[in-house]
Amino acid sequence: MQITVKGQMVYVYTGGKPFDRQLPAVMFLHGAQLDHSCWNLQSRWFGHHGFGVLAVDLPGHGRSAGAPLGSIEELAQWVDALLSSVALEQAALVGHSMGSLIAMEAALQFPSRISRLALLGSTLPMPVSAALLDAAWHNEAKAVAMVNNFSHSSSAQIGGNTVPGLWMMGMNQRLMERQKSGVFGCDMNACNAYARPLTDLSAIRQPTLILAGAQDRMTPPKASRALASAIATARLEVLAGAGHALMAEQPDQVLNHLRDFLKQ
Amino acid sequence: MSLQFDTLSLHAGQLPDAEFGARAQPLYLTTSFVFQDTDQAASLFNMERAGHVYSRISNPTNAVLEERIAALEGGVGAIAVASGQAALHLVISTLMGAGGHIVASRALYGGSHNLLEYTLPRFGVQTSFIDPRDLNAWQAAIQPETRLLFGESLGNPGLDVLNIPAVSEIAHAAGIPLLVDATFPTPYLQRPFDLGADLIFHSATKFLGGHGVAIGGLVVDSGKFDWVSSGKFPQLAEPYSGFHNMVFAEESTVAAFLLRARREGLRDFGACMSPFNAFQILQGLETLPLRMARHVENTRAIVAHLAGLRGAEGAVESVIHPDLAEHPDHELAKQLLPKGSSAVFSFHLRGGRPAGRRFIEALRVFSHLANVGDAKSLVIHPASTTHFRMSDEALKAAGIHPGTIRLSIGLEDPKDLIDDLNRGLAAAAKA
């Protein structure tokens, strides 16, 4: 569906069913240079199992209009505005990578509006190498290749997709290539510049699930462990063999963890 | 880790078998797959979870082949079907219905031409055929109802090199995808997606398998075409009542076409590939780079040999191959097919139909049959076989002479192939 947030059109995938605000709401926040479709299987499942699903395209990403927002803080405020625009008091947030930063910032800025937090492929801080930052601004094709490589485990780079006939590396590459020019640099910069200290996360009171890929080279499990230690309510699950793109690499395991967590 | 073409040919899509550790790809020769429980079954049917249900829709062995060709072509995914013809039909039936229109190169494989010219009009889909070398003709033939531009990387029988960058630009300016039949070059010699094509299909029966034991087709999606902003493809951008009002382009930004082609095309038309054939084609794909290099090397030697025999006295009148400077696409081939053009080509014999028959009958290494892309060298004389009903005038209009011989160069020792051709030429000269 299309809604208006802060005067801009926003595209929201609702899990294959019309959004029902009477149901428990769950918002999916994608990572840098991606869109809602990275949550395809998980969001569709929740849409058909008693949840109101909001799998958004962040501003300037996918089908959403406008320019990308330049900081995690602004993106968290945008999440708050989006909840208001669909007249929701509260939602669970599920964020991946950059989306996980948005989710944790929203939980700190607007704690009463966030019921639960699921942070996938997450770490704080989330520094971006100078080489990748430079490529994201000035050579997007190179940045796409770098991120595509680093986002997938060694086995995912060979294949064996759970979804029959789809080549995971090609899917992720094309999805990144689809984003408008300038989005990549803006996203990478937002991740790199997010300076909230880890100790701030002790203020998070929502039940929190942290999902990490054992082979994640972007946000290694060691970093996710530190994150879990900083949030008193957090539980960490490490998926054996998974890389950073864990929703695509292990869709069933990710869904099962999210299902058990969000159905509680 | 970023895997290269030769490595992907061997490995893409296939992890060692999790249960028994089998290194070779197991053949899952089964019609159907047991559900874990009723919830999982329902989720599989509703596309909330991924997996296999029934081998008409998907199969683990086929899925490896699909991933592998997608990796080799640089696409987002693929669908394995019963034949190259089934692949072409799957693309067309996914993108249009009655009232749809196609602009196609007139230099097509006969089977494709039959489908477009004679069969699809019965279902309301019309095709305008144009000279693939005439870029203005591609543009001029586009109508409001056009939904596809279609050509072969290397046209039949003149090996017209499709100017994929230029034709794809014309297609995209009109909001239409370009489909390329990439059977002859295979991704080893050319990757059409890198040049601007949106969809590819293969007759996997040919070089991809290479062994001549299995019929199969593959449709590959680049994931580049924007079906929504085009505004011409409600099949992908609007709710589909045949699958719970699913909007395929919302489910998958980059693989909407493949979703519908599998969920509707394989479900309803049912032209799936047998897992047994997928298994066999995978065996061939493992050696694709090695074989294609040898096919091209042998072809170069034979083209040079035959070209050297041209002249007033000899049996060889002319040779049609982009390697030769007089071929109209010689320069374009150097640009778009730098590793070589094709191991399938034609040459014209002096002496018409009788010379053609004598030539064929004298051969001992080349096999006389109606196929191309085998590891073994193949030959056919169109005027006495595939086109035998046609007059000399009608043959000429199709770019075929009474003495045209089509060769598919295999992997034998090139000396044996040249000796065999010389034997045939000597016989033809006596006709």
Map out the domains of chain B as residue ranges.
5-285, 288-429
With cut-offs at 50, 70 and 90, classify the pLDDT of residue B388.
Answer: confident
Helices (H), B74-146: 84-95, 110-114, 135-141
Low-confidence spans in chain A with pLDDT less than 50: none
Closest residue by Cα to residue B272 from B59, B52, B53: B59
Which of A19, A41, A61, A166 is the best mutation test for B, with the most CBs of B within 10 A?
Answer: A166
Reply yes or no on whether the pLDDT at B390 is more than 80. Answer: no
Which of B1, B37, B67, B198 is the best mutation test for A, with the most CBs of A within 10 A?
Answer: B67
The Cα angle at residue A54 between residues A53 and A59, in degrees rounded to 5:
170
Residue of A nearest to B69 (CA): A167
| Sheet hosting strand B344-349, strand order edge to edge | B316-320, B344-349, B404-408, B378-380, B367-368
Total length of chain B: 431
Residues of B in contact with A164 (CB under 8 A): 50-52, 57-60, 62-63, 66, 262
Nearest by CB: B51 against A149, A160, A162: A162
> Taking CB atoms and an 8 Å limit, are A160 and B252 in contact across chains?
no
Nearest by CB: B43 against A36, A45, A149: A45
Residue of A nearest to B225 (CA): A178
Closest residue by Cα to residue B356 from B377, B384, B378: B384
With cut-offs at 50, 70 and 90, classify the pLDDT of residue B154.
Answer: very high
Residues of A in contact with B254 (CB under 8 A): 37, 171, 174-175, 178
The sign of the CA dihedral A193, A194, A200, A201 is negative
Q: Which residue has the tokens 């490589």?
A: A149
A189 vs B399 pLDDT, higher one:
A189
**pLDDT on residue B389:** 76
With cut-offs at 50, 70 and 90, classify the pLDDT of residue B385.
Answer: confident
Nearest by CB: A171 against B62, B64, B223: B223
**pLDDT on residue B48:** 95
How many other CB atoms are there within 10 angstroms of residue B368's CB atom?
Answer: 12
CATH, range B288-429: 3.90.1150.10
Q: Which residue has the tokens 């966030």?
A: A114
Contact status of A96 with chain B (Cβ, < 8 Å): no
Q: For B215-230, what is the mean pLDDT?
A: 98
Q: What percent of chain B has pLDDT over 90?
A: 90
Contact status of A40 with chain B (Cβ, < 8 Å): yes
**pLDDT on residue B122:** 98
> Taking CB atoms and an 8 Å limit, are B262 and A160 in contact across chains?
no
pLDDT tens-place string over residues B84-115: 999 999 999 999 999 999 999 999 998 999 99
Nearest by CB: A170 against B47, B48, B75: B75
Q: For B337-366, what is the mean pLDDT?
A: 94
Least confident range of A45-54, B77-86, B152-161, B271-280: B152-161
Residue of A nearest to B18 (CA): A160
Separate counts of helices (H) and strands (E) for chain B: 19, 12
Q: What is the pTM of this model?
A: 0.97
Closest residue by Cα to residue A81 from A7, A169, A171, A133: A7
Domain A2-262, classified CATH 1.10.3720.10, yes or no: no
Q: How far apart are CA B196 and CA B187, in angstroms?
A: 14
Closest residue by Cα to residue B136 from B110, B103, B107: B103
Q: What is the maximum alpha-carbon separation in chain B?
A: 77
Residues of A in contact with B252 (CB under 8 A): 37, 40
CA distances, B343 to each of B287, B300, B324 (Å): 16, 8, 14
Closest residue by Cα to residue B178 from B201, B204, B210: B201
DSSP states of A187-238 as a string? HHHHHHH----GGGGGG--S-EEEEEETT-SSS-HHHHHHHHHH-TTEEEEE
pLDDT averaged over chain B? Answer: 95
Tally A–B CB contacts below 8 A. Answer: 133
Residue of A nearest to B59 (CA): A164
Nearest by CB: A48 against B14, B48, B258: B48
Residues of A in contact with B66 (CB under 8 A): 164-166
Residues of B in contact with A156 (CB under 8 A): none
| CA-based nearest distance B212→chain A, Å | 24
Reply yes or no on whether the pLDDT at B324 is more than 80. Answer: yes
Reply yes or no on whether the pLDDT at B431 is more than 90. Answer: no
Question: B5-285 with B288-429: one CATH topology?
Answer: no
**DSSP state, residue B269:** I
Residues of A in contact with B246 (CB under 8 A): 16
**pLDDT on residue B46:** 94
> Taking CB atoms and an 8 Å limit, are A165 and B63 in contact across chains?
yes
> Taking CB atoms and an 8 Å limit, are B66 and A175 in contact across chains?
no
Q: Residues A178, A61: contact at Cβ < 8 Å?
A: no
Nearest by CB: A160 against B14, B228, B253: B14
Buried b (16+ CB within 10 A) or exposed e, A99-123: bbbbbbbbbbeeeebbbbbbbbbbb
CA distances, B381 to each of A100, A114, A217, B343, B414 (Å): 66, 74, 58, 17, 21
| CA-based nearest distance B185→chain A, Å | 21
Structure tokens at B145: 């109802």
**pLDDT on residue B313:** 78
Reply yes or no on whether the pLDDT at B399 is more than 90. Answer: no
With cut-offs at 50, 70 and 90, classify the pLDDT of residue B83.
Answer: very high
Reply yes or no on whether the pLDDT at B393 is more than 90. Answer: no
Structure tokens at A102: 């948005």
What is the C-alpha R_g of chain B?
22
Residues of B in contact with A35 (CB under 8 A): 253
Total length of chain A: 264
User: Is the complex ipTM higher than 0.85?
Assistant: yes
> Taking CB atoms and an 8 Å limit, are B48 and A45 in contact across chains?
yes
Residues of A in contact with B236 (CB under 8 A): none
Could you give phi then psi for residue A52, rounded to 5 degrees?
-90, 115
> Taking CB atoms and an 8 Å limit, are A164 and B62 in contact across chains?
yes
Residues of B in contact with A256 (CB under 8 A): none
B358 vs B398 pLDDT, higher one:
B358
> Taking CB atoms and an 8 Å limit, are B50 and A157 in contact across chains?
no
| CA-based nearest distance B419→chain A, Å | 44
Residues of B in contact with A45 (CB under 8 A): 43, 48-49
Residues of A in contact with B3 (CB under 8 A): 157-158
Residues of A in contact with B219 (CB under 8 A): none
Residue of A nearest to B52 (CA): A164
Closest residue by Cα to residue A117 from A104, A102, A108: A104
Beta bridge partners of B408: B344, B378
Which of B224, B250, B263, B273 is the best mutation test for A, with the most CBs of A within 10 A?
Answer: B250
> Taking CB atoms and an 8 Å limit, are B68 and A159 in contact across chains?
yes
CATH, range B5-285: 3.40.640.10
Cβ neighbours of residue A192 under 8 Å, at least 6 residues apart?
A: A126, A127, A128, A133
> Taking CB atoms and an 8 Å limit, are B77 and A165 in contact across chains?
yes
Q: How far apart are CA A171 and CA A33, in angstroms?
A: 13
Contact status of A67 with chain B (Cβ, < 8 Å): no
Closest residue by Cα to residue B373 from B201, B185, B199: B185
Q: What percent of chain B has pLDDT over 70?
A: 100
Residue of B nearest to A1 (CA): B250
Q: For B215-234, what is the mean pLDDT?
A: 98
